[in-house]
A and B are shown apart, each in its own frame.
Chain A
Amino acid sequence: EPEVTQTPSHQVTQMGQEVILRCVPISNHLYFYWYRQILGQKVEFLVSFYNNEISEKSEIFDDQFSVERPDGSNFTLKIRSTKLEDSAMYFCASSEFREGSPLHFGNGTRLTVT
């Protein structure tokens, strides 16, 4: 069964550094998402992406964050200048349609900012 893949599985970085989290969504899916989960807290929506542009973003997704689909398969999340509070599990997801189709999540990237 097709799956969403994320790399790396674990990233450790120093405060102020830039990180890029990578995802390969399921190939026939059109909608792409990033969510995050801070340890012990709820899964939170960050951003959705469709037709090569941001469709919706949360208040968490400020100017430090950006997303890109650099080619036909990859979908990336960049954090320009990481903060301690960015430490979390970041999940990429994709779906075939905006509504009515389930989200397929990757296994996540655990980001640790020191």
Chain B
Amino acid sequence: KQEVTQIPAALSVPEGENLVLNCSFTDSAIYNLQWFRQDPGKGLTSLLLIQSSQREQTSGRLNASLDKSSGRSTLYIAASQPGDSATYLCAVQGNTDKLIFGTGTRLQVFP
């Protein structure tokens, strides 16, 4: 059974720092991995999707890497800003329709 874990559970940093959020999964037979952002009381916003054949994806200040064989992904946020404060979720998709989510990393960036 696929299990997804995210470390750390919470992170508080000053503005301008570069951050790394970690995601690990137990079954390496995945089709893709997605990173989402969730603001309080809101839905999930897709940030990056990495196919199983890819090693990384970039969007603006965000870079996500995938090491399928070791069951790990990292989300790198460059030059963090207060507007980046949110909960970041990773989710994996295997050979089914469903995404399996981690518990998230709650990020606070203070000015």
Chain A contact residues, CB within 8 Å of chain B: 4, 6, 31, 33, 35, 41-45, 48, 50, 55-56, 58, 91, 93, 98-108
A104 contacts across to B, CB distance below 8 A: 46
A100 touches B91 (CB 8 A): no
Q: Name B100's closest neighbour in chain A (CB-CB).
A: A45
B103 in contact (CB, < 8 A) = yes
Main secondary structure of the interface of B (DSSP, over half): strand
Q: How many residues of B contact A (CB 8 A)?
A: 24
B97 contacts across to A, CB distance below 8 A: 31, 33, 45, 48, 50, 55-56, 98
B43 touches A43 (CB 8 A): no
B89 touches A43 (CB 8 A): yes
A103 touches B46 (CB 8 A): yes
B31 contacts across to A, CB distance below 8 A: 99-100
A107 vs B97: C-alpha distance when bound (angstroms): 21
A58 vs B34: C-alpha distance when bound (angstroms): 20
A103 contacts across to B, CB distance below 8 A: 34, 44, 46, 99
B98 in contact (CB, < 8 A) = yes
Residues from 10 to 57 in B contacting A, C-beta threshold 8 Å: 31-32, 34, 36, 41-46, 49, 51
A102 vs B101: C-alpha distance when bound (angstroms): 14
Q: With contacts A41-B103, A100-B31, A102-B46 known, what are 15 further pairs, Cβ within 8 A?
A: A6-B43, A42-B101, A45-B97, A45-B98, A48-B98, A56-B98, A58-B98, A91-B44, A99-B31, A99-B32, A100-B32, A100-B51, A105-B45, A107-B41, A108-B43
